[in-house]
């Protein structure tokens, strides 16, 4: 699937003599969008080819991966099971737009405590799930495995060879690993983690074959799914100026970072920057529900 690169024109970009384009992976689909589409593509094929009875995966309450898997399962006639972090949600899943969507697609939601959820990578726990849900294809949290990375290697195409720097948001690191693998040797890949922690580098090294990449930890806004009024205001202003909707968990933080680095002369004049819009727009409604409760400004979508 080929996706449009949209050129972004803002005074600061012209002033600093760089250029910025956004790869609109968010346009792939409203629910299986961006990198979650890329990550599912070969996993879904594998689940179908191996005649799996169902597709089981893991996610938090606002997970883009859960929404995407649920939708893709329905489209491909394969049952889906979501192991959801947080027992307390069982009583109030109807207040959560992502979970309502997933359930409407036919996903079976299994709520587990945070302690149990932490075991999601342990062999013993996976074996327990395999026994309980016989014949299921198990996809790790965030959909990150070798087949997911293979899908993410298709984000960059031959038409992107002229860019000097590729920027993308980082969660588990699967997406950036795919981008690193398909980037040209002269290109640099710059990742913006959406969460705190140093563990990501090792995870990325496991899958990435090249060394032309780096992470910038300055723009995580306090951690995963944490937002500030400054970030929300930025997302709303950016939408007004460019007509591009960003999400508050990943792409908003990345783009805030990219523009901050441009403003502070991080990129040499003449640098051609490509930022990947990895999608995630389905999460805005849920985030707005939280912002409303806290009396904070809302994301205009």
Ligand X SMILES: *Cc1c(COP(=O)(O)O)cnc(C)c1O
Q: In the complex, what is the shortest distance from the CB of residue 265 to ligand X, in angstroms, rounded to a whole number? A: 27
Torsion angle of alpha carbons 223, 231, 85, 74, nearest 10°? Answer: -140
Beta bridge partners of 5: 23
Report the residue number whose CB is nearest to ligand X. Answer: 280
> Which CB atom, from 80 or from 98, has the smaller least distance to ligand X?
98
Measured from the CB atom, is 19 or 278 closer to ligand X?
Answer: 278
| Cβ proximity to ligand X, 12 vs 146, nearer residue | 146
* Smallest separation, CB 273 to ligand X (Å): 17
In the complex, what is the shortest distance from the CB of residue 91 to ligand X, in angstroms, rounded to a whole number? 26
Q: Minimum CB separation from ligand X for residue 252, in Å?
A: 9
Which is closer to ligand X, CB of 73 or CB of 142? 142
Report, in Å, the least distance between residue 263 CB and ligand X: 23
What 107-110 contacts at long range (C-beta under 8 Å, 24+ apart), as own/partner pairs, is: 107/66, 107/69, 107/70, 107/73, 107/80, 107/81, 107/82, 108/79, 108/80, 108/81, 108/82, 109/82, 109/84, 110/81, 110/82, 110/83, 110/84
In the complex, the residues that contact ligand X under the rule CB under 6 A are: 34-36, 64, 142, 144, 169-176, 247, 250-251, 278-280
CB of 29 to ligand X, least distance (A): 13
Residue 19 vs 245, nearer CB to ligand X = 245
Burial of 162 (0-12, 13-18, 19+ CB in 10 A): exposed
Instruction: CB nearer to ligand X: give 4 or 132.
Output: 4
Instruction: Please state the closest distance from residue 250 (CB atom) to ligand X, in A.
Output: 3
For ligand X, the closer of residues 109 and 144 by Cβ is 144
List, in order, residues 6 or more apart from 151 with CB less than 8 Å away: 37, 38, 39, 40, 41, 42, 43, 178
Q: Residue 51: left if φ>0, alpha if ψ -120 to 50, beta else—which one?
A: left
Nearer to ligand X, 87 or 203 (CB): 203
* Spatial separation of the C-alpha atoms in residues 288 and 4, rounded to whole Å: 28
Cα 225 to the chain's mean position, in Å?
12
Q: Which residues contact 300 (CB under 8 A, 6 or more apart)?
A: 236, 239
Helix or strand run (H / E) with residue 202: helix 199-207
| CB of residue 36 to ligand X, shortest distance in Å | 6
Query: CA–CA separation, 99 vs 80, rounded Å?
Result: 13
């Amino acid at each position: 699937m080929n996706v449009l690169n949209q050129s972004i024109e803002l005074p600061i970009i012209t002033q600093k003599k760089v250029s910025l384009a956004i790869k609109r992976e968010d346009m792939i689909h409203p629910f299986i969008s961006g990198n979650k589409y890329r990550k599912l593509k070969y996993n879904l094929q594998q689940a179908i080819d191996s005649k799996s009875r169902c597709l089981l995966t893991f996610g938090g309450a606002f997970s883009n991966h859960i929404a995407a898997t649920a939708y893709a399962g329905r489209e491909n006639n394969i049952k889906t099971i979501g192991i959801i972090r947080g027992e307390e949600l069982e009583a109030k899943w109807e207040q959560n737009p992502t979970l309502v969507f997933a359930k409407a697609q036919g996903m079976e939601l299994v709520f587990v405590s945070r302690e149990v959820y932490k075991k999601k990578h342990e062999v013993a726990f996976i074996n327990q799930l395999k026994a309980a849900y016989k014949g299921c294809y198990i996809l790790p949290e965030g959909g990150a495995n070798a087949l997911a990375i293979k899908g993410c290697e298709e984000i960059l195409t031959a038409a992107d060879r002229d860019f000097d720097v590729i920027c993308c948001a980082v969660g588990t690191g699967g997406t950036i690993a795919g981008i690193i693998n398909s980037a040209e040797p002269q290109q640099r890949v710059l990742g913006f983690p959406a969460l705190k922690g140093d563990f990501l580098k090792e995870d990325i090294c496991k899958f990435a074959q090249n060394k032309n990449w780096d992470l910038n930890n300055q723009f995580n806004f306090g951690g995963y799914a944490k937002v500030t009024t400054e970030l929300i205001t930025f997302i709303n202003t950016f939408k007004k100026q460019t007509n591009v909707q960003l999400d508050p968990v990943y792409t908003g933080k990345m783009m805030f970072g990219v523009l901050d680095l441009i403003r502070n002369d991080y990129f040499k004049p003449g640098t051609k920057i490509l930022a990947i819009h990895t999608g995630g727009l389905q999460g805005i409604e849920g985030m707005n529900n939280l912002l409303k409760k806290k009396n904070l400004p809302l994301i205009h979508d």
